[in-house]
Each structure stands twice: as structure tokens, then as C-alpha cells.
């Protein structure tokens, strides 16, 4: 995927359904890769300066492409699944959260059994819509998702 960015075929990398621990593991692996890339030319340059002819010339530092982290994580997120830890991890890693299934509180057949007790939550969402010129509850859920910092897909 990094190569697709370097080749100009895509502008950015995204992942989906990554948990906080998946993102942290990816972050660590990218940091290791980056460290290796930075060390390799330095070691080679040092070898060359001491006359070690067995070492192949290294690429100049500025030609080594940096690691390219994903910029978005698309996950299920809505009023009944707010994912605060994942939101915080993505923020720390400078990643956008893409929220899918934003209307689950309206559409899932078992939503009414959710521990967040959606009846009062949905009544509140409806009241907010009414207070804003008769907007639908779906529009309120989408606005909540966007205003809480997600790029919302539906
Ligand atoms: N990355 C992933 O793993 C993953 C997983 C799931 C989904 N996604 C993506 O996320 C996007 C949205 O997924 P989703 O379909 O779960 O999202 P959603 O928008 O939460 O749900 C769509 C459902 O909402 C209904 N709906 C639409 N407008 C409504 C309204 N005003 N009032 C009441 N119900 C309404 C639709 O009914 P009608 O069909 O009757 O319009 C449909 O059943 C899609 O692009 C999907 O590909 C990604």
C-alpha cells in the first residue's frame, strides 16, 4: 500500500476495523521500519569511510522513502458504540475515524435491547431534531457523528 502512494496511484492509506491494539502494533512496526531505514545508509557511509569495499554504496538519505502510516481507520461507530478508547488512539496517531453504520440506533433490530437504553436516547435525538426545524432523527445521528469528529459514511 505504501508503494501505491509513492507511485501516485492513491493519495493515502486507510485501514478498517483496526482496534487500538492493532493500531499500536502497526505504529510500532512502522517506527521500527523507519529506524532501520535511517540506520542503513549511516552504517554504509561509515563503512565506506573506513575503506570497507565489501559494502555496497547506500542510497542517499533523501532518496529513501519514509514509511507512510494510514490516515484513516473506518470502524463501526454510532451513539450506541462510541468507542472512546479507539477515538483517543486515533487522535494520538493523527488518524481520522471513518464512522460506518451511523444509523444503527435506528435500524438494528436489537437496538432496543442495548444497555444504553436507546429509548430515551432516541427520544432526545428526536427532540433535538424537532428543535432544529423538524430535522429527522437520522439527520441528528449523522450530525452527532460528524460533530464528534468522525468522517461519517452511509
Ligand atoms: N468497513 C467495514 O467493515 C464496513 C462495515 C459495514 C458497513 N460499511 C460501509 O459503511 C457504509 C454505511 O453502512 P450501513 O449501511 O451499515 O450504514 P447506515 O447508514 O447506518 O445504515 C443504512 C440503513 O439505514 C437505513 N436508513 C437510511 N436512511 C434512513 C432514515 N432517514 N431513517 C431510517 N433509516 C434510514 C437504510 O435503509 P434503506 O436501505 O431503506 O435506505 C439502511 O438500512 C456503507 O458504505 C458500507 O459499505 C463498512
Pairing mode of beta strands 14-16, 150-152:
unpaired
Contact 2, 68 (CB under 8 A): yes
Ligand 1 mean position, distance from CA 105 (Å): 11
Dihedral pair phi/psi, residue 80, rounded to 5° = -95, -5
Please report the DSSP string for 24-41 in residue order. Answer: HHHHHHHHHHHHHHHHHH
**pLDDT tens, position by position, 13-67:** 999 999 999 999 999 999 898 888 888 765 554 444 444 444 344 444 455 457 8
What pLDDT, on the 0 to 100 scale, is given for residue 52? 41
**What domains sit in the chain, N to C, each tagged with a CATH number?**
2-152 (3.20.20.100)
Ligand 1 atom 12: residue of nearest CA: 154
> How far is it, in rounded angstroms, from Cα 81 to Cα 86?
11
**pLDDT tens, position by position, 54-106:** 434 444 445 545 789 999 999 999 998 999 999 999 999 999 999 999 999 99
* Distance from chain centroid for Cα 124: 29
> How far is it, in rounded angstroms, from Cα 47 to Cα 117?
66
Ligand 1 atom 37: residue of nearest CA: 107
* Distance from chain centroid for Cα 100: 13
pTM comes to 0.83
Write out the three cell numbers for 137. 432523527
Q: Among 107, 108, 138, 146, say which to mutate for ligand 1: greatest number of ligand atoms within 8 Å of CB.
A: 107
CB atoms within 10 A of CB 141: 25
Amino acid at each position: 500500500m505504501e508503494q501505491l502512494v509513492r507511485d501516485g496511484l492513491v493519495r493515502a492509506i486507510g485501514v478498517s476495523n483496526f482496534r487500538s491494539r492493532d493500531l499500536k502494533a502497526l505504529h510500532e512496526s512502522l517506527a521500527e521500519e523507519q529506524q532501520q531505514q535511517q540506520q542503513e545508509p549511516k552504517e554504509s557511509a561509515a563503512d565506506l569511510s573506513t575503506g570497507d569495499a565489501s559494502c555496497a554504496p547506500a542510497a542517499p538519505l533523501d532518496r529513501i522513502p519514509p514509511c507512510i502510516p494510514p490516515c484513516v481507520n473506518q470502524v463501526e461507530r454510532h451513539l450506541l458504540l462510541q468507542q472512546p478508547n479507539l477515538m483517543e488512539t486515533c487522535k494520538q496517531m493523527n488518524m481520522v475515524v471513518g464512522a460506518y453504520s451511523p444509523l444503527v440506533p435506528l435500524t438494528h433490530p436489537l437496538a432496543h435491547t442495548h444497555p444504553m437504553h436507546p429509548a430515551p436516547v432516541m427520544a432526545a435525538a428526536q427532540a433535538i431534531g424537532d428543535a432544529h426545524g423538524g430535522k429527522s432523527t437520522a439527520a441528528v445521528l449523522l450530525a452527532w457523528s460528524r460533530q464528534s469528529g468522525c468522517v461519517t459514511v452511509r
